Structure 1
Amino acid sequence: MTDARFAGIDWAQDSHAICVIDAAGEPLERLVVAHTKAGIGKAVGVLRRHGVAGVGIERSDGPLVVGLLAAGLEVFVMPPSRVKSLRGRYGSAGNKDDRFDAYMLADVVRTDRRRLTPLRPDTAATTSLRTLVRARADLVQHRVALVNQLRAHLLTVLPGVVGLFCELTSPISRAFLTAFPTQDAVDALTVEELTGWLAGQRYRKRPPEVLLARLQDAPTGVTGPAGTALAGVTTAYLTAATGLIEQINALETQIAQALAEHPDGAIFTSLPRAGTVRAARLLAEIGDARGRHPTPAALAGLAGVTPSTRQSGQVRMVAFRWSVNKQLRGAVCDFAADSRHANPWAADLYAQARARGHRHPHAVRILARAWLTIIWKLWTTGTPYNPDQHNALQKLLTQTP
């Protein structure tokens, strides 16, 4: 292809540097376009006019990538970490320069195209589900951090409430802190008053006498005017945590609806202990572009559940794989770790790995790799998981004790 042309785009928040090169690597056109509808349209027009055979870019999503794919252009994604290491090919300085990076991305597509995998976009349903799942995960992290702050605050101000009920985020814990926000209010409680309040909350898990004894045996918090003032801090933390919990619940409702409507939803909800959010997370991170993972090994490698092997001469090293899709690894390992509580085959594989001396995270990755072989088969054939057709599981179940 002596007349082939290639392009590289250095993506930025407000503008994008573009470089088009010929088959010999000589620049044909350079330009910078704004990150606007008109700018993206101009970029697509330039690339189509040159008839580029491939476009190198550092990210896989966003309006610019959507525009490139809609125009029928073949896009190759190179993460910033790879781009940083590639700069050494073109000089020793390694300095960041938008115009140079755009040229370098184009030249790498020109020279290494056979080693690169074109971007295979997921459907809009999967992309939307991924956004919902990741947004929920972000809010959960914020909730955990905020509840930890609330717990640390209460250990000083109102220690008896910490551990009184199952969790500080539970409705009964939040209701109690709203009704009795100070140490003085807690100290004034009688068995009769607590019994009436618990009845109003329809709480029957523990007797009022037991709860009151725990409150009275706990260290005394801050009393008097200082306690009243600090109750405002308690209320602030509580209000913020309640808001996060409500938004998480709202996202989970959306996730459940999106998962139920997704063509691949039944595949992932059929997995043991997958539930709704976990199944949605697996689906969202694996995606529905079948061509992206041509083999189970390709999927396992991207998920980082296979070791990285390095060999030089007589030296062979097997190490943890760092350069992976961390979101996918988190989803797969979370599922695998819990699946062993519901699936005897998974429990047996995990136990074998632990017996060989592997620590829990390593044993989970071994189990995750085995699960991905099954998930890949289900995913490529569009078939839900059926334990009766899982040969390894059935063989284990029929073994004589």
Structure 2
Amino acid sequence: MTDMPYVALIGLDWADQKHDVCLYDCAAQTQEHCVIGARPEAIEAWAMQLRVRYGGQPIAVCLEQKRGPLIYALCKYEFLVLYPVNPQTVSKYRQVFTPSRAKDDPTDAALQVELLRKHRDKLTVWQPASPMLRKLQALVEWRRTLIEDIGRTTNRLVDVLKGYFPQAIDCFEHRDTMVFCDFLTQWSTLSAVQQVSDEQLQQFFCEHHSRYKDCNARRIECLRNGIPLTQDSAIVESSQLMVQALVSQLRSLLTSVRQFEAQIDREFNQLPDAAIFAALPHAGTNLAPRLLLAFGEDRTRYQTAQDLLQYAGIAPVTERSGKKCWIHWRWGAPRFLRQTFIEWANESRKASLWAKAFYQAQKQAGKTHQAAIRALAFKWIRILFRCWQDRVPYDEAKYLLALHQKGSPLAQQILSQA
């Protein structure tokens, strides 16, 4: 093992309170275990000991994180070369030798060292993206977390309103909005809103940019003719308090999302590849940054479009055993990345003629909506990969012309729909 490019190999099983470490000395071919604290000071002291012990020579570290507190703490030490692995990789490797599924942190650290010693050619060194790209990645993911919180808060709010003021739910199709928050802040019971005039309600809706007369008339009629679900003060008064608490949370979340979106837009427009993804049909200010992050800035990361299709989980998996062969959904894939392509493929139908025609052809062939959208995402990724590699924005007219010149059945379908 002395021909290894590293002076030591380290497996690091992390936890909230402590980290189990297994160190393999390549020269002495010995293995040792220790436990370090999770505080920054403890990690710093441990790293400095390694620097002194091995004179700053490169050390390989295997850990079950691609981002998080531990990798953030270790990436500042230039002599540590990080090999992040999927937790499932270590788990499956452990089960090979421990079918009982017994688990122990020191054992996992030793297994990570074994992965480095015997299978390092199958592992990838962690190469951090540029600070601007990593900042955009964090902003986009935190925004997604806030959106999920908005969904949970809105569902709780609707659940409370069902118990005493269901008319408020009937009046607003979209409840994750400021107008819904403002309405409930002013009138949190049916009796309260029935005491104001129709003109006041009309003015409220107009001030909140809801100027559709038929919609506002329907809302006012619903509120005016409504009958209280209950007049039990114990239910109404306690529910009112809960509604105001949830409205306050929802308002704060909506404000935060707007702040994140403004910052995302600023960061996105500063990146060199922004124009490529901003030009995509119906990508908008939310999906364009996510698509840019899906491809990244390292054009050697994916050798072919198929590499990205497989990593994102859009390409299906084929399994063969004996005479049997079956194709199924790819389970092991980054969920957020897959959602990005699926959501944008669905949106693209609204602005792309060929995408709409392709989806309709898939539906006519008997595919479900989700299967048709995944097929559309599959086709889009192949197109985007070429645009990304060539650093050229997508051109709908150019692609339609190419379809026509090739005599594609899709081109014929588009002409028939025109």
* TM-score, normalization by structure 2: 0.85
Counterpart-to-counterpart distance in 2, 1:25 and 1:293: 38
Decide whether aligned partners of structure 1 residues 196 and 53 sit closer, same or farther in structure 2, where only a CA change above 3 A counts. Answer: closer
Residue 46 in structure 1 maps to residue 55 in structure 2: no
Decide whether aligned partners of structure 1 residues 51 and 316 sit closer, same or farther in structure 2, where only a CA change above 3 A counts. Answer: farther
> What amino acid sits opposite 2:224 in the alignment?
Q
Please list the CA deviations of residues 215-238 of structure 1 after superposition, one character each: whole Å capped at 9, or x if unmatched: 134442334745355322222221
| Higher mean C-alpha displacement, 321-330 vs 28-37 | 28-37
Decide whether aligned partners of structure 1 residues 357 and 391 sit closer, same or farther in structure 2, where only a CA change above 3 A counts. Answer: same
- Aligned counterpart for 2:84 among listed residues 66, 77, 80: 77
Q: How many residues align?
A: 401
Q: In the alignment, which residue of structure 2 is the partner of 1:216?
A: 224
Q: In the alignment, which residue of structure 1 is the partner of 2:160?
A: 153
Deviation (angstroms), 1:90: 3.8
Deviation (angstroms), 1:254: 1.1
Please list the CA deviations of residues 84-122 of structure 1 after superposition, one character each: whole Å capped at 9, or x if unmatched: 110134444442222221221121122222223333322
In structure 2, stretches of 5+ residues that fail to align are 405-409
Q: In the alignment, which residue of structure 2 is the partner of 1:173?
A: 180
Deviation (angstroms), 1:49: 4.7
Q: In the alignment, which residue of structure 2 is the partner of 1:366?
A: 375
Deviation (angstroms), 1:140: 1.1
Counterpart-to-counterpart distance in 2, 1:303 and 1:44: 38
Decide whether aligned partners of structure 1 residues 342 and 155 sit closer, same or farther in structure 2, where only a CA change above 3 A counts. Answer: same
* Greater relative CO, 1 or 2 (CA 8 Å, sep 6+): 1
Deviation (angstroms), 1:199: 5.5
Verify the 8 A CA contact 1:133 1:284 in the aligned structure 2: no
| Higher mean C-alpha displacement, 333-342 vs 110-119 | 110-119
Decide whether aligned partners of structure 1 residues 93 and 250 sit closer, same or farther in structure 2, where only a CA change above 3 A counts. Answer: same
Decide whether aligned partners of structure 1 residues 261 and 96 sit closer, same or farther in structure 2, where only a CA change above 3 A counts. Answer: same
Residue 127 in structure 1 maps to residue 134 in structure 2: yes
Matches within 5 A, 1:176-191: 176-191=183-198
Counterpart-to-counterpart distance in 1, 2:79 and 2:139: 27
| Higher mean C-alpha displacement, 296-305 vs 59-68 | 59-68
Q: In the alignment, which residue of structure 1 is the partner of 2:344?
A: 335
Residue 275 in structure 1 maps to residue 284 in structure 2: yes
Residue 239 in structure 1 maps to residue 277 in structure 2: no
SS across alignment from 2:332: coil
Q: In the alignment, which residue of structure 2 is the partner of 1:348?
A: 357
Residue 253 in structure 1 maps to residue 256 in structure 2: no
Deviation (angstroms), 1:143: 1.0
Decide whether aligned partners of structure 1 residues 366 and 172 sit closer, same or farther in structure 2, where only a CA change above 3 A counts. Answer: same
SS across alignment from 2:318: strand
Decide whether aligned partners of structure 1 residues 391 and 194 sit closer, same or farther in structure 2, where only a CA change above 3 A counts. Answer: closer
Q: In the alignment, which residue of structure 1 is the partner of 2:3?
A: 3
| Higher mean C-alpha displacement, 364-373 vs 276-285 | 276-285
Q: In the alignment, which residue of structure 2 is the partner of 1:309?
A: 318
Q: In the alignment, which residue of structure 1 is the partner of 2:103?
A: 96
- Tell me the C-alpha RMSD between the 2 structures: 2.9
Deviation (angstroms), 1:44: 7.0
* TM-score, normalization by structure 1: 0.88
